[in-house]
């Protein structure tokens, strides 16, 4: 299964973009996009650093908040408490 991470476009450079999610930035290719992308748009980024779809900001916010709240620790019994409050808030995921 592949999980697309909603990321905000912060820099555009032809068919490349710098995107931000959870306070981290990375460069992604826009070569697979079938519609124009502008600064401030949210895109889904998949493994391999390819943006594959533009999404509405509200949908991006909901997905980022959900992803921040789930336990992604692959080690059972490692002491990670999935019921603990997420350390990420809307400002940290760039949604303010």
For residue range 32-55, list pLDDT tens digits in order.
999 999 999 999 998 889 999 999
Number of H helices, E strands in the chain: 1, 5
Write down the pLDDT at residue 86.
Answer: 40
Question: The CATH number of 5-69 is which of 2.40.50.140, 3.30.450.20, 2.30.30.140, 1.10.10.10?
Answer: 2.30.30.140
Write down the pLDDT at residue 77.
Answer: 52
Residue 43 CA to residue 94 CA, distance in Å, equals 13
For residue range 18-28, list pLDDT tens digits in order.
999 989 999 99
Phi first, then psi: what are they for 90, rounded to 5°? -60, -30
Q: Does the reported pTM lie above 0.85? A: no
Q: Where are the domains of the chain?
A: 5-69
């Amino acid at each position: 299964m592949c999980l697309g991470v909603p990321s905000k476009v912060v820099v555009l450079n032809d068919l490349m973009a710098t995107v931000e999610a959870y306070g981290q930035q990375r460069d992604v290719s826009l070569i697979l996009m079938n519609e124009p992308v502008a600064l401030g748009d949210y895109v889904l980024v998949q493994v391999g650093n390819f943006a594959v779809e533009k999404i509405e900001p509200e949908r991006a916010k909901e997905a980022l908040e959900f992803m921040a709240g789930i336990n992604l620790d692959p080690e059972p019994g490692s002491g990670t408490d999935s019921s603990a409050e997420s350390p990420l808030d809307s400002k940290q995921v760039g949604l303010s």
